[in-house]
Amino acid sequence: MKVTVHVRPGSAREAVGGSHDGAVVVRVRERAVDGRANEAVVRALAGEFHVPRRAVRIVSGGRSRRKVVEISGDDAELTSGVARLLEAT
């Protein structure tokens, strides 16, 4: 399943949830330096969806705050999880 995310690097706390222009918001502590924020995004999404990190892959937007991420797993669970996250504030 492909999910559009909006990354907020340098956040005080790590969290996944909420929406920004239709994308799931992912807050990470790491700054966008040397790919550290991208690694943190993969780690955060893997933890949120209870899948291994290798099941989460950034498809596009590697150098942007807005990214498309592909998550491998049960599509029904992922779809309901994304809907839940978009509603979260």
What average pLDDT does the chain have? 94
Hey, what CATH topology would domain 2-84 get?
Conserved Hypothetical Protein Mth637; Chain: A; (3.30.1200)
Cβ atoms 3, 68 nearer than 8 A: yes
pLDDT band at 89 (very low <50, low <70, confident <90, very high): low
> Of 18, 88, 78, 13, which Cα lies nearest the Cα of 5?
18
Question: What pLDDT is attached to residue 75?
Answer: 86
pLDDT digits (tens, 9 = 90+) for 9-42: 999 999 999 999 999 999 999 999 999 999 999 9
Quick one: tokens of 53?
Answer: 């990190």
Q: Using CB atoms within 10 A of its CB, is residue 52 exposed (0-12), middle (13-18) or buried (19+)? A: exposed
